[in-house]
Structure 1
Amino acid sequence: MEPKEKEAEIVSEILLKAASEPEFRNNLIRDPATVLDMYDVSPTAKMVIKRTIIDLTQ
């Protein structure tokens, strides 16, 4: 699997987990930097996740 494909898969897993697990979603909303530091994704991917979570919670 290409690095970009792997990263896209990880981002998808994070967003699906946020959608299905309220505790994870709340932690991601409260402290995205700490939660996302547990994942091996680029700063750009982390920014996309943060923006997506913000958009979903407004």
Structure 2
Amino acid sequence: MAAATSEFARISATSAAPPGSKGNVPLGTVLLEEVAFRGVLMGLINRHRGAVG
């Protein structure tokens, strides 16, 4: 378990925001990604279940 924790710490440390950056993400980007993710998820569920209607 310690190896996994140190691996996570290494990845987190290397992917941190640049110094002086607050790491803000525009709200429009977040909303776009959420809608796209939910659309793909619903598409996969519908494909798995078959056509309804």
Q: TM-score range by the shorter chain?
A: 0.3 to 0.5
Structure number with bigger Rg? 2
- Name the structure, 1 or 2, with higher relative contact order (CA <8 Å, separation 6+): 1
TM-score, with normalisation over the residues of structure 1?
A: 0.36
- Larger relative helix fraction: 1
Query: Please, what TM-score do these two structures have when normalized by structure 2?
Result: 0.39
